[in-house]
Amino acid sequence: MWCSCPIRSRSSCPAFKATRPPGKRYDYSNLGAGLLGHLLCRATGRSLDDLMVERICRPLGLDSTRIVATDRMRQRLVTGHEAGVGPVPLWRYGVLAGCAALLSDAADLVRYLEAQLVPGDDPVGRAIRVTQAERFVVQQGVLAMGLGWHLTGQGDNRDWVHAGGTYGCTSYVAFNPVRRVGLVLLTNSGIHGWIPAAGSQLFEYLCGRPYRIPQLPRSTTVAAEELRRFEGRYRYVHDRSTVRATVEQDHLRLRSEGEPDQGVAAFPLGAGRFIAKSAAVAFKFDLDPATGRVRSFAQHEGPEPLKAVRID
């Protein structure tokens, strides 16, 4: 549900069935990046951390970028905070380390952006150029994909962008080689929707383009008795997976059943609407007008809402 659960075993992979031919439609996939990292480890017989250090970190001088933190890094490691809730532990990725397990700091990421802005003629520089090349057009003139990079705009206004986050930390990185501008934005708060929005507008400003100041949706106070109306088990229509909603103080906590993740905190906006500040996900609950009982919710995260029906 939240792209944070590990692959339980390789035996689950053969059960996967593609719904369309490769290269026909864009979908962002944490699972895909994590699986690629796992396959690289299997193909080389080495850990992903060793490969990253040898092929990327050491050539670029990134001494504070690792999957396995060094002693010096651990001394400077910040505590992440789930938006509106409080401190949270680091995620443990297991075989999905390739999707988001890297630890880094602003100085290393600035150095990494410098290499992106002016790639060298060595093997790393040539590899950087390969990752920056357009591979798939999502919307002409608006969005395309490189290898890991989102390519936005066109001409002199083409930017290379990537954002990421857990429920405790959020990052945003962008650069424009024509304008020679780069931006690194890091925070130890899991506000995955707002930080990338703020980063993109700050980058617009740095590039001398029109910008706007994004606003984080403000939650409202709802009595615990009212919140309890939304408690229960829900089953997603698209994949039959189930989640449980429970009340925690002034918000709901939605957790995938049978998975080890912490779930997501959803704060009330009123009229059956909730916002997960840490994951850029909105929920709209549907109530039976006759009884007032909650019947389902729609999860708004991607291009199409995901519906979940109440089953208890």
pLDDT for res 10? 45
Give residue 297's domain range: 224-310
Q: Is residue 165 part of a domain?
A: yes
Contact 229, 294 (CB under 8 A): yes
Regarding whether 162 and 98 lie in a shared domain, the answer is yes
Q: Are residues 160 and 268 in the same domain?
A: no
Residue 16 lies in a domain: no
Residues 232 and 200 in one domain: no
Q: Based on the fold, state whether residues 196 and 283 are members of the same structural domain.
A: no
C-alpha closest to that of 249 among 227, 264, 270, 276:
227
pLDDT of residue 5: 37
Question: How many domains in the chain?
Answer: 2
**Residue 229: alpha-carbon gap to chain centroid:** 30
What number is the average pLDDT over the span 28-52?
Answer: 94
Residue 134 in any domain: the answer is yes
The pLDDT value given to residue 231: 96
Q: Domain containing 70 — which CATH number? A: 3.40.710.10
If asked whether residues 97 and 175 sit together in one domain, one would say: yes
**CATH number of the domain where residue 236 is located:** 2.40.128
- Which H or E run includes 187? strand 181-187
pLDDT tens digit string along 176-189? 999 999 999 999 98
Do 194 and 239 belong together in one domain? no
Whether 310 contacts 233, CB under 8 Å? yes
Amino acid type, 233:
R
pLDDT tens digits for range 43-100: 999 999 999 999 999 999 999 999 999 999 999 999 998 877 889 888 888 888 999 8
Q: Are residues 122 and 30 in the same domain?
A: yes
Q: 136 phi and psi, to 5 degrees?
A: -150, 130
Q: For 12-21, 24-33, 145-154, 295-304, which range has the lowest pLDDT when averaged over its residues?
A: 12-21
First vs last Cα of the chain: how many Å apart?
19
Q: Are 36 and 165 found together in one domain?
A: yes
The reply to whether 3 falls in a domain is no
Domain final residue pick, 179, 206, 233 = 206
d(CA 309, CA 135): 38
pLDDT in tens, 267-282: 999 999 999 877 778 9
Based on the fold, state whether residues 45 and 113 are members of the same structural domain.
yes
Q: Higher pLDDT residue, 234 or 11?
A: 234
